[in-house]
Amino acid sequence: MMDSDGNGSMPKGSSGGIIPMIFNHYSALPQLYDFENAVEEKISDKITRQYVMGAQTMLVKWTFKKGAVIPLHFHPNEQITWITEGSAEVKSQGKTFIVKAGAVIIFPAYVPHEFMILEDTIDIDFFSPVRSDWLTNSADYLKQK
């Protein structure tokens, strides 16, 4: 077996990431991204986003400035939100959640929610399936009024 350098050696005990019965029938490879080089979209003066996606999932990095708002909306995608820096007030189904750095909140598909950013914040979101409304530019709730 070859390693990633093609020199024919792998550490003892390594399988090289290959399961023989699958490897012979499936030739897809992982895709490696440098997220910092992903295109940064400016949604507003207080909101930017970057994302990468696979065939069925999307990973998004939001950068929010204090006072930013993501208006009430819903979508057919499950959403897992991880606040890595800062904090946000999230309202959904008549409840208010304060989501601080290190916390995760999960929205099932079609559950309405809105975000009010309480301080400069980095938010990492995982969507399944891919947000087709973003790809077709039909997510009206994000358009500036």
CATH number for position 55: 2.60.120.10
> Residue 142, SS3?
helix
Q: Is residue 27 one of the residues assigned to a domain?
A: no
Q: Mean pLDDT by 10-residue block, N- to C-terminus, for the chain (145 residues)?
A: 48 71 68 90 96 94 98 97 98 98 98 98 97 89 70
Looking at the structure of the chain, the number of domains it has is 1
N-terminal to C-terminal alpha carbon distance within the chain: 58
Q: Is residue 49 one of the residues assigned to a domain?
A: yes
Cα angle for residues 43, 64, 123 (degrees, 5° grid):
105
- Structural domain span for residue 59: 35-142
Q: Is residue 25 one of the residues assigned to a domain?
A: no
Q: Is residue 116 one of the residues assigned to a domain?
A: yes
Q: Is residue 40 one of the residues assigned to a domain?
A: yes
What is the pTM (predicted TM-score) of this model? Answer: 0.81
Q: Is residue 4 one of the residues assigned to a domain?
A: no
Q: Which pLDDT value is given to residue 109? A: 98
What type of residue is 77? Answer: N
